[in-house]
């Protein structure tokens, strides 16, 4: 049963983007330890802004 719950938790975190922020923080600590990582809210805002830019660049 625990294995199933772990799999469900993993899936939900992947689908909601929570795991992506955790990966960002881990990578940031490895590569950019000289300054703190973005907060969760800042990271989501930057991610959304980047997606909007890409959408407008590739449109029509």
> How confident is the model over 11-59, as pLDDT tens digits?
999 998 889 999 999 999 888 768 899 999 999 999 999 988 887 766 6
Alpha helices in the chain (DSSP H): 2-16, 18-31, 40-57
Q: Name the pTM for this structure.
A: 0.68
Q: Can you read off the two tokens belonging to residue 25?
A: 């923080």
Could you tell me which residue, 47 or 60, shows the higher pLDDT? 47
Please check whether residue 28 is in contact with residue 37, taking contact to mean a CB–CB distance below 8 angstroms.
yes
Q: Can you read off the two tokens belonging to residue 27?
A: 């990578």
Q: Can you read off the two tokens belonging to residue 2?
A: 């625990």
pLDDT given for residue 17 in this prediction: 85
* Whole-number Å distance between alpha carbons of 54 and 60: 12
């Amino acid at each position: 049963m625990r294995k199933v719950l772990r799999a469900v938790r993993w899936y939900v975190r992947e689908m909601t983007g929570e795991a992506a922020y955790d990966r960002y923080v881990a990578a940031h600590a490895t590569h950019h330890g000289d300054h703190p990582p973005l907060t969760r809210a800042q990271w989501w805002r930057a991610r959304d802004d980047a997606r909007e830019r890409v959408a407008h660049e590739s449109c029509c």
